[in-house]
Amino acid sequence: MIKHARYLIPALVILGLVVMLSVAGWFMLRPPHLIIQGEVEATQVKVSSKISGHIQTIEIKRGDSVTRGQLLVTIDSPEIRAKLRQAQAAERGAQAQLEKAQSGARTEEVESARVLWLKAKSAADLAEKTYERIRKLHDEGVVPTQKLDEATANREAAKRTAEAAKAGYDMALAGTRTEDKTTATALVSQATGAVSEVQAYLDDTLLAAPINGEVIDIIAEQGELVGPGFPIITIVDLTDIWVTFNLREDLLADIRMGDVFTATIPGLGNQKVALKINVINPLGEFATWTATKTSGDFDLKTFEVRAAPVEHVAGLRPGMSALVDWSEKLQQPSRPE
């Protein structure tokens, strides 16, 4: 009995060592869990100006929540104000021309034209009577033909002068021509359009928030000169948020559009968040995994996979990491057959 016990203890020790080595080998040879890391992103809008000028005031600061239409920045542009004054002066001039065309000739001008016509008419009547007297005397042989020719010429000239005066009087009575009125109206429209254009540029000196969101960056400072298109403020829309993962194409076999899976957010104390896939998009050649073996391997493209939270997650912000254990089976509550 004692003799067998002497061999039993070493056998148990050896057995224990074998078990420990087997367990350790199993853990060492077991494939590690594949952890995929993604990044939280959100819609960002950069606010810029259409005109150049110096920043006069900045009405907000980083971290402020803003609403659509809220004033953010005012820009001082003396050049735009000067152009507006020029355009307004041109508009007033065009409007005066239109009013003149619509009102026609003044009373004094009409009366003057009437007097000139009456004077010319009287001269024409006198020339007609003179012609008749000369003609009779010529027929009687009292005056030579030369006198008759002169009387005839004077009668025709006086008649034409009276007709011209009558036309001038009629034009004064009728007022400005329709074509002149149309031209004046067009000039007013052109000047008004110029004023509206400059006013639109002047309105752009007041930069307002295009969306509801949070101010995350202010690039320029008060007093700085900014040009057209230069981004001044960045606003993030925390209601439009998602997580982006870059996956090799061999990892896409287990996922489809609309699949739901769980991610861990370290920035929220390892909170579990349900994400739903809504974008699967191949990236460019720069993101291709190039094969390193001479045979039996092939290049793998990289795909951008976006997944949005199924429910609102308080505190979730752009830049946070999202970790997914790819070894776990994905939830697929609504995958089509």
pLDDT in tens, 239-285: 999 999 998 888 888 788 999 999 999 999 999 999 999 999 887 55
**pLDDT value at residue 72:** 94
Segment 214-223, tens digit of pLDDT: 999 999 888 8
- Please state, for a pLDDT cut of 70, what percent of the chain lies above it: 74
**pLDDT value at residue 106:** 60
Domain regions of the chain by residue span: 45-75+206-234, 85-199
**pLDDT value at residue 308:** 94
Segment 298-314, tens digit of pLDDT: 567 888 999 999 999 99
Mean pLDDT computed over 148-175? 72
**pLDDT value at residue 332:** 45
Mean pLDDT computed over 98-111? 63
Q: How confident is the model at residue 327 (pLDDT cuts 50, 70, 90)?
A: confident
More confident residue, 60 or 29: 60
- Residue 143, pLDDT above cutoff 80: no
**pLDDT value at residue 116:** 78
**pLDDT value at residue 11:** 64
Give pTM, 2 decimals: 0.59
More confident residue, 13 or 274: 274
- Residue 337, pLDDT above cutoff 50: no
Average pLDDT over the chain reads 78
The answer to whether 303 touches 36, Cβ cutoff 8 Å, is: no
Q: Please say whether the structural domain 45-75+206-234 has been given the CATH code 1.10.3720.10.
A: no
Q: Which of 29-38, 97-106, 244-253 has the lowest mean pLDDT?
A: 97-106
